Amino acid sequence: MAADRRSSWLKGVLDLLVLACLTEGESYGYEISKALAAAGLGEIKGGTLYPVLNRLEEAGLAVGEFRAAERGPGRRYYQLTDQGRRALVEQSASWLEFHTAVRTTLNSAQPGGTS
Amino acid sequence: MTSSSSSNNNSSSNSVGGSGGSGGDYFAELARLLRAAGLPEQQVATTVADLTGYLAEAESADAYEEFGAPETFAASLVEGRTGEGPGEGAETWKWTADIYADRTYLNHYGDQGWEMEGLDRLGRFVCRRDTQAAMRWEYRREIANNAKERASVAADLALDAWEPCGHWLYFLYFKRPKAASAGPAAALDELVAAPDRQLFLSSTYRGKLKQFVAAAVVTGVLSVLTIHYCGDHMLVPFLIGSVVAAPIGGTIAWRRLKHEAVNAEEA
């Protein structure tokens, strides 16, 4: 039940989080998934992550490049575009504003909370 | 750590799931689906390679568990990508109707978001509907005998935002988004399911078809009886008569059909 709720919350912000994972430089699917898990956001399945990467690429916010590897099947590396950086700044501000409103409302509902 | 987001799988049991660490069957099926969706071969290959690497690094034993049902996953991977066929989220429907009912049905289904893209070689209406952002459409039919008349009619109607969307014989079809007259109200919030019919015949057409079949049967029976009872020497005159009568009858029928179509247009 708790996992379902977190999954539902994550849907609204996962695109933004994936963009944030690319601010330090290019990354690939599994590395992004690990970074999100390490940040405490839980395990993101490939079936959830790759459609997000596809959406970001289609929207021009990220660009992917497949590179063959000497060993193994190769990886698709993603990096932010300029449009992606701008979108990240704008949407982060919107999300943080929303987050503040949620936190304020929930805090006020706590016993002894302030509005 | 609890799983905060799961893949879009419906069940862990599937014929291509649970195929072991390599997920060979799963990826073969995924590649087939991506190709079928119009993804170029190179992209199919690199996508499968990337996902294979992901699965190996995740040390997941089950591709189905990691990526979900291949049909759903493939659809999400090609979403928004342009291909030769209709895009993801778009429906295509080919159908036909006789000249007495075509505009009625075009407008009826145009109101359900079906946009006519043209006529195929069989004379069927090829319609498309965007399930993500469907709009209402309206249609009209005009008559033109040649390319010059078609251009003239199209130029006149273009002033009112009518766009040609196909022609068959001397019938010209035009479409216009209802937004041109209804504004935002032309947007469709809910879609009626795609029709499962491909043929619409009016009662007028059925009546004429019955008359034609009856006339053909009577003519055939009379011809056979005449030849049978009057002898083979009647065969040649009958064949000559048929050769002469067929084009005359065809021409008369053609003109009458056109006349009715024009009158119906004016009605």
- How confident is the model over A100-111, as pLDDT tens digits? 999 999 998 887
The residue among B170, B200, B230 that closes a domain is B200
Residue B96 DSSP SS3: strand
Cα distance between residue B6 and residue B10, in whole Å: 11
Same domain, B137 and B190: yes
Phi–psi pair at B167, nearest 5 degrees:
-145, 150
Cβ neighbors of B243 (< 8 A, separation 6 or more) are none
State whether A30 and B53 contact (CB < 8 Å). yes
User: Domains, chain A, ranges and CATH?
Assistant: 2-109 (1.10.10.10)
B169 and B217 inside one domain: no
Test A3 with B51 for CB contact under 8 angstroms: no
Number of domains within chain B: 3
Interface contact B3-A50, CB threshold 8 A: no
Domain that holds residue B188: 90-200
Per-residue pLDDT at B20 = 41
What per-residue confidence (pLDDT) applies to B207?
Answer: 87
Q: Specify whether B103 is located in the same domain as B193.
A: yes
Q: Which residues of B touch A59 (CB under 8 A)?
A: 80
Which pLDDT value is given to residue B197?
87
Pair B107, B194 in one domain:
yes
Write down the pLDDT at residue B58.
87
Q: How far is CA B80 from CA A17, A79, B116, in A?
A: 21, 19, 21
Q: Does B11 lie at the interface with A, CB-CB under 8 angstroms?
A: no
Q: Are residues B137 and B182 in the same domain?
A: yes
Q: Based on the domain organization, do B188 and B252 belong to the same domain?
A: no
Residues B113 and B134 in one domain: yes
pLDDT for B81: 65
In B48-162, which ranges are E strands?
Answer: 90-97, 115-119, 125-130, 137-143
Are residues B96 and B194 both part of a single domain? yes
Please tell me if residue B27 touches chain A, with a CB cutoff of 8 Å. Answer: no
Q: Is the pLDDT of residue A26 over 90?
A: yes
pLDDT at A12 over 50: yes
Question: Among B175, B164, B101, B185, which residue's Cα sits nearest to residue B138?
Answer: B175
Residue type, A72: G
Last-in-domain residue among B42, B72, B88:
B88
Instruction: Indicate the residue type of B248.
Output: I
Average pLDDT by stretches of 10, chain B with 267 residues: 38 38 77 84 84 87 89 87 51 89 93 88 86 84 88 85 85 85 70 86 86 87 82 78 84 79 57
The C-alpha atoms of residue B255 and residue B10 are separated, in whole angstroms, by 60
CB B28 within 8 A of CB A67: no
In chain B the first and final C-alpha atoms are separated, in Å, by 72
Whether residue A104 contacts residue A115, with contact meaning beta carbons closer than 8 Å, is answered with: yes
Residue A2 has what pLDDT?
A: 62
B120 and B38 in a common domain: no
Q: Do B3 and A42 touch (CB under 8 A)?
A: yes
| CA–CA gap between residue B67 and residue B5 (Å, rounded) | 12
Cα torsion A111, A113, B4, B6: sign: positive
Residue B75, both tokens: 């659809």
Estimate to the nearest angstrom the gap between the alpha carbon of B54 and the chain centroid: 40
Subunit contact A73:B53, Cβ cutoff 8 A: yes
Q: Which residues from chain B sit within 8 angstroms of residue A66, using beta carbons?
A: 46, 49-50
Is residue B80 domain-shared with residue B21, that is, in the same domain?
Answer: yes
Higher per-residue pLDDT: B242 or A25:
A25
Residue B132, CA distances (Å) to B53, B71, B89 in order: 33, 19, 6
Mean pLDDT of A75-98: 92
Note whether B5 contacts A: Cβ–Cβ < 8 A. yes
Between residues B208 and A112, which one has the greater pLDDT? Answer: B208
State whether B154 and B143 are in the same domain. Answer: yes
CB pairs under 8 A between A and B: 111
Same domain, B118 and B191: yes
pLDDT band with cut points at 50, 70 and 90 for residue A21: very high
Report which of residues B209 and A38 the model is more confident about. Answer: A38
B76 contacts on A by Cβ (under 8 Å): 47, 50-51, 54
